[in-house]
Amino acid sequence: MTEAPRVTVFRKEHFNAAHRLHNPLWTAEKNKEIFGLCNNPNYHGHNYEIIIQVTGTIDPETGYVIDTKLLSDLAQTEVCKKFDHKNLNLDVPEFADLNPSAENIVIVIYNKLRAKLPTTLDLKIRLYETERNFVEFPAN
């Protein structure tokens, strides 16, 4: 018996947000040394792009792995509306005690979406902080 083919579906979304990379346990000098301009006390912003990657088998009734409208609605509800035009450090509870680096942001996004998707679907998130700087989770 052959295994059902698996297909990957991608959805791109975006949000704009400000943040400051800062470790309150360090001195101002060490924060500036490690984080540079990203440690600006008045914050700085990015036009973030997220690529949501969902992999699974095709439902024979719909022809979908996942309805892209459903995926977009989920991304809007769980990520974009909560992060867009926000100061991640001050306005987003997940970052109250978590430095909002791209690495931490992508894991927070992954966890929010993973909790809402069926376990039969694999999920991967790619987050672009800039055109040249991006992260992906999980790493494999």
Active site residues: 38, 85, 129
Give CA angle at 56 (50, 57), nearest 5°. Answer: 145
Rounded-to-integer distance, Cα 19 and Cα 100, Å: 7
Number of helical H runs and strand E runs in the chain: 5, 5
